[in-house]
């Protein structure tokens, strides 16, 4: 079922502790059980499994439960030991797990959606289960009665969800690349604002209620940090992945952001540094360096008897430039560009060697990662994906040992 890989050597890379194999289809969610050597997994093979680590070091399934429909997402509330499972058919099912994690009892089914459930959050304070789905809506239901309290519909699939437990604000990402901030009430909701910045569908969100920072990852391979609490609404762009960003986790104690992408990339971003906002791209009918016309500027092309040029943009200053005036490439980590991007010649000359020092570390997970979660208190991470494999990692060599005195998130 599972194998213990090796002991923990000293390194600056994530250490693979265990691999769990046994699912017959893609694993859509994997969650570490706080204060236990255990993992809960949900899969497209219609099973929910609880894996406990035995004395041999191997993980064996103590619970194996088959559902009526493929499992698309899962949430686990450790204090009450309640599991909420979203399915392809739109239903959310609630279970209660015994103290020894050897038995799981069905509680109730919530008819939350008409299509695949994409995200679930449980609020113990309000006894709400909040979910998003591919029926283009967010719904919130009462866990006491099982009744629907409210729904809000979007123009495209709702793909991910975060929730502020104190203010009852919900952040919903969708396939159009937009993030909507909603204030949820008992039987209604109001739209506070929408955030637009990604060029692809939103794949994951992470909300830090202390610093009031929202992180979003998308299919455009980028991450944006939205300063929700800041008066100026500052946004920071992070580009270092080469594929869709699938999962995020922000570590408050060390001010690091951990992100995973579908090509197996694992990145740890240092957010405890002064970063610069990427500029807005400027528009112009001619190159803002050499003043040569772009190809749509017919009047200047006729007047100067020249052929129009293709428009590009310098990633550092945002100016519209031609290819000749932006022939160089450079990384610029302080602005989030961890790999080389197009910059104009003058910006290239202004970038010093020390400006190119990376502010993130990149690691290879060696499997397609569709979901990641962390046990912050122990510095452990679990990843899963379409290869049906679940991997458990020791992240302390990368994020620092101070996490040992940390805390568990909601």
Per-residue pLDDT tens for 345-369? 999 999 998 889 999 999 999 999 9
Stretch 46-58: mean pLDDT, rounded?
A: 93
pLDDT band at 232 (very low <50, low <70, confident <90, very high): low
* Cα–Cα distance measured from residue 221 to residue 214, given in angstroms and rounded to the nearest whole number: 17
pLDDT band at 218 (very low <50, low <70, confident <90, very high): very high
Pairwise pLDDT comparison (336 vs 231), residue with the higher score: 336
User: CA 288, 290, 292, 296: dihedral to nearest 10 degrees?
Assistant: -20
Q: Write out pLDDT tens, residues 137-151.
A: 999 999 999 999 999
Stretch 51-74: mean pLDDT, rounded?
A: 94
Domain 15-280+358-399 identical in fold to domain 298-355: no
Q: How far, in whole angstroms, is CA 103 from its chain's centroid?
A: 31
Spans of all domains in the chain = 15-280+358-399, 298-355
**Per-residue confidence (pLDDT) for residue 300, from 0 to 100:** 73
The answer to whether 150 touches 156, Cβ cutoff 8 Å, is no
* Cα–Cα distance measured from residue 171 to residue 194, given in angstroms and rounded to the nearest whole number: 9
pLDDT band at 207 (very low <50, low <70, confident <90, very high): very high
What is the rounded average pLDDT for all residues in the chain? 91
pLDDT band at 400 (very low <50, low <70, confident <90, very high): confident
**Per-residue confidence (pLDDT) for residue 2, from 0 to 100:** 53
Q: CATH assignment of 15-280+358-399, given 2.10.260.10, 3.40.50.300, 2.130.10.10, 3.90.1720.10?
A: 2.130.10.10
How far is it between the farthest Cα atoms of the chain?
A: 82
Residues with Cβ < 8 Å from 367, sequence gap 6 or more?
264, 383, 385, 387, 389, 391
Residue 162 has pLDDT above 50, yes or no: yes
Residue 259 has pLDDT above 70, yes or no: yes
The answer to whether 285 touches 304, Cβ cutoff 8 Å, is no
Q: Which CATH class is domain 298-355?
A: alpha beta
Q: Write out pLDDT tens, residues 336-350.
A: 999 999 999 999 999
The answer to whether 254 touches 272, Cβ cutoff 8 Å, is yes
């Amino acid at each position: 079922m599972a194998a213990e890989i090796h002991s923990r050597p000293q390194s600056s890379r994530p250490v693979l502790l265990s691999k769990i194999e046994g699912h017959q289809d893609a694993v859509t969610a994997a969650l570490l059980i706080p204060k236990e050597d255990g993992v809960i997994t949900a899969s497209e093979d219609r099973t929910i499994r609880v894996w406990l680590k035995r004395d041999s070091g191997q993980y064996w399934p103590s619970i194996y439960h088959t559902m009526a429909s493929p499992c698309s997402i899962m949430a686990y509330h450790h204090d009450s030991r309640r599991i909420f499972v979203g399915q392809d058919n739109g239903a959310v099912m609630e279970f209660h797990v015994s103290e020894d994690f050897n038995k799981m009892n069905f509680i109730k089914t919530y008819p939350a959606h008409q299509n695949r459930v994409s995200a679930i959050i449980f609020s113990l304070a309000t006894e709400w289960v909040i979910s998003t789905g591919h029926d283009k809506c967010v719904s919130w239901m009462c866990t006491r009665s099982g009744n629907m309290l409210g729904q809000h519909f979007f123009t495209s699939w709702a793909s991910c969800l975060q929730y502020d437990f104190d203010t009852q604000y919900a952040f919903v990402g969708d396939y159009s690349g937009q993030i909507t901030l909603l204030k949820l009430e008992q039987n209604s909701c109001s739209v506070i604002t929408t955030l637009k910045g990604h060029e692809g569908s939103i794949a994951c969100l992470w909300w830090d209620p202390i610093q009031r920072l929202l992180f979003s990852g998308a299919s455009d391979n980028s991450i944006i940090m939205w300063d929700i609490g800041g008066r100026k609404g500052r946004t920071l762009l992070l580009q270092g992945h080469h594929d869709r960003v699938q999962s995020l986790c922000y570590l408050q104690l060390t001010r690091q952001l951990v992100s995973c992408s579908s090509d197996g990339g694992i990145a740890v971003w240092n957010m405890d540094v002064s970063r610069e906002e990427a500029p807005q791209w400027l528009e112009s009918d001619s190159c803002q360096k050499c003043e040569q016309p772009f190809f749509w500027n017919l009047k200047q092309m006729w007047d100067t008897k020249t052929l129009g040029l293709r428009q590009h943009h310098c990633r550092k200053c945002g100016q519209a430039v031609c290819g000749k005036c932006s022939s160089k490439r450079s990384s610029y980590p302080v602005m989030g560009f961890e790999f080389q991007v197009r910059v104009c010649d003058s910006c290239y000359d202004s970038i010093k060697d020390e400006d190119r020092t990376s502010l993130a570390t990149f690691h290879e997970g060696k499997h397609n990662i569709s979901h990641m979660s962390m046990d912050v208190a122990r510095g452990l991470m679990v990843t899963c994906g379409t290869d049906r494999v679940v991997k458990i990692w020791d992240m302390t060599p990368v994020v620092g040992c101070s996490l040992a005195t940390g805390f568990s998130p909601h």
